[in-house]
Amino acid sequence: MQHVKLGQTCLTDAPAAARDFHQQVAQPGMGLVLFFCSSHYDLPALAEAMVTCFGDVPVIGCTTAGELGPQGYQDNSLSGASFPADSFFASSLCIQDLKKTKLNQIQRQTRDLEARHKDSKAETFTNSFALLLVDGVSQCEDALTRVIHNTMPTMPLLGGSAGDDLDFRQTLVFHQGEFHRDSAVLVLLSTSCPVAAIKSQHFAATDQRLVVTGAAPHKRLVTEINGLPAASEYARLTGVDEKDLNLMRFASSPVVVMINGKEYVRSIQQANPDGSLTFYSAIEEGLVFRVAHGVDLLNNLTTSLQQACADIGKPQVLLAFDCVLRKLELEQTGDKPQASELIKQYRTIGFNSYGEQYSGVHVNQTFTGMAIGSPTGDL
């Protein structure tokens, strides 16, 4: 039986990178190819080259804020994998015009995709899950993830928000030979291999509460916390000077919200000149946050991976969506080389994201993923 083949290239020329990637992952009977690439590539040239290389094979991908692959954590690279059709079957949908499309239309599209998937040979496989890649600056992830999960409540759902190397201007998903903006790609993947979902976050809530008393939800903007200007109150509660608020400060002191008894991280993108705070996830007035404190990221991730893979053995691939703020923290602490070695041990492909999707919730500063074992246990 064939296995998933992984590849990663750091070639900067788009056609050359596509050819190098194809050479690494090509195998007979490919049912799906996933790839994740830096936004610094000539993307029209890359799209054309991927079509030339892979022909009629379904290819799904997105731009990133960093890539995970056989070479570990990389920037300005292209990583991904091919999935053999004898043990994997995929159906996909590109949801376009996210900001204009009504939720009931997305629900109908999702339901149609699920029906089409089940009517095909998907029923011959034992495990299924959904992957969601979303335009990371669309600000539509929260509602999109929720409606897809509610439409398919028994289908495990995970994914990531596309990046653009921290420019926050244009993030793209790839489907049917083209890159698309203001879009999302939903993939239903069925397999005969054992699978295990992973969610790792290295923050826990403290007793310090922040109540959102002023907000512009459509902009993910918080104007007031506890009745005071948002930035100054957040700075006071986290013990820093307001003028020192920056990306790394927000990365080290995110906030946590409770949803159905579970903690989910909500990260701040920036402090604005008017004293407001822009978040990476949905917010609304009345929401109660707690200031979070961190534990060791590397140890936390190691434990999460060990626990997830305890029942399935060594994965033939780990699909991973890892928040870009976690990568920045690894760089700051000097732990990035060790983290690279860790994800290489688990045969990881994925990307550093602007947000992560897990079981119907859009989260931040989280590592979400799906470990896929071997049906024969021969890896």
Q: Which pLDDT belongs to residue 183? A: 98
pLDDT at 59 over 80: yes
Q: Which pLDDT belongs to residue 18? A: 98
H helical segments located in the chain: 14-25, 43-54, 103-119, 141-151, 230-238, 247-252, 297-309, 324-333, 336-345
Residues 366, 369: Cα–Cα separation, whole Å:
10
CA 4 from centroid of its chain's CA atoms: 20
Q: Which pLDDT belongs to residue 121? A: 73
Q: Which pLDDT belongs to residue 311? A: 86
1: pLDDT confidence band, cut at 50, 70 and 90? low
Contact 80, 46 (CB under 8 A): no
283: pLDDT confidence band, cut at 50, 70 and 90? confident
Neighbours of 224 (CB within 10 A): 18
**DSSP letter, residue 123:** G
The CATH topology of domain 203-294 is: Elongation Factor Tu (Ef-tu); domain 3 (2.40.30)
pLDDT at 379 over 60: no
What's phi and psi for 277, nearest 5 deg?
Answer: -125, 135
H helical segments located in 91-140: 103-119
User: % helix / strand / coil in the chain, to the nearest 5?
Assistant: 30, 40, 35
294: pLDDT confidence band, cut at 50, 70 and 90? confident
Average pLDDT of the chain, as a whole number? 93
Q: Which pLDDT belongs to residue 376? A: 64
Kindly state the average pLDDT of the residues 13-18.
98
Whole-prediction pTM: 0.90
Which tens digit of pLDDT belongs to each residue from 182-209?
999 999 999 999 999 999 988 878 888 8
pLDDT at 377 over 60: no
Residues 34, 67: Cα–Cα separation, whole Å:
12
pLDDT at 265 over 90: no
- Percentage above 90 pLDDT, the chain: 75
pLDDT at 174 over 80: yes
Domain(s) labelled CATH 2.40.30 in the chain stretch across 203-294
Radius of gyration of the chain (CA): 20
Q: Which pLDDT belongs to residue 267? A: 86
Residues 243, 22: Cα–Cα separation, whole Å:
48
Residues 147, 140: Cα–Cα separation, whole Å:
11
Which tens digit of pLDDT belongs to each residue from 130-159?
999 999 999 999 999 999 999 999 999 999
Place of tokens 């599209």: 109
Contact 203, 293 (CB under 8 A): yes
